[in-house]
Amino acid sequence: MHNLFWSFCLTRAPAGICSNMATSGNVFGPILFLIIFNLVQFALRFGLMNWSYKMGMSALDSLMANMQAFTRAASILGVFVVGCLTVTMGGTQINAVIPNGTTQAYVAHTATVANDEVANFEVIKTNDRGVTLSGMNDKDGNPLSGTDANGNPATAGAVDLGNGMSEVTYMEMVESSVNIDIANILDSICPKLAPMAIVMLLYYLFSKKNFTPMKGIVLVLIIGILGAGPFGLWPSIWG
């Protein structure tokens, strides 16, 4: 609004009138324009300067009167920022796993053989209880089921290719270890729980034990080196 008032009212209107006076041969036209322009400009600048000063002082007084609320709001914002930094920048993760036995599962393999050799793949190998360890059928003659190399479901069997050859899908029992991943358990309870625990530990030491920032840095450095090295709690930094 101020720009419109200044541009269209206080500059163009007097300039149009005074320019007509000047083109008519009146020497007072340019002088009148300079007088109007500078007087109005000076009045506006002086008045707005005083108005802005008074508004600034009143705003400062209002801010000082509500300083406690302002400080509390700033503290809450700081807590939010620290929480966001903990989640986004905190890369600490528990690397410990607990062995929990083994599991057995069938894994599918595919081979192309002559039709008269398909029967050799029905039962390739069994254990002492008659359980098929490798082959297409179990001890009751039912086709075995498992997963392929990509984890997709697969069923044992043979497909005649029509050229005297068949594509045989047979199963092989594979034994793999089962581990309890501490990191997955903690993330299911609360994501980024390990970084939050370290932040809360530092907060406790700073607020209750009068820790200095330098001591906190040294403590985090020691925890990181020991955890990544001898104890293997974090992902290893030793290669």
Distance CA 145, CA 62 (A): 76
Angle at which helices 67-89 and 193-208 cross, to 10°? 140
Lowest mean pLDDT among 14-18, 155-159, 181-185: 14-18
In 10 A of CB 155, how many CB atoms?
13
Residue 230, pLDDT score: 59
pLDDT, mean of residues 167-173 = 88
Residue 180 has pLDDT above 70, yes or no: yes
- What are the tens digits of pLDDT across the range 37-71? 888 878 888 888 888 888 877 777 776 767 777 78
Give this prediction's pTM.
Answer: 0.45
Distance CA 197, CA 187 (A): 13
pLDDT, mean of residues 6-15 = 66
- What are the tens digits of pLDDT across the range 80-103? 887 787 777 767 777 777 888 888
Q: How confident is the model at residue 8 (pLDDT cuts 50, 70, 90)?
A: low
> What string of H, E and C letters represents the secondary structure of 129-185?
CCCEEEECECCCCCECEEECCCCCEEECEEEECCCCEEEEEEEEEEEEEEEEEHHHH
- The SS3 call for residue 12 is helix
Residue 6, pLDDT score: 58
Mean pLDDT of the chain: 80
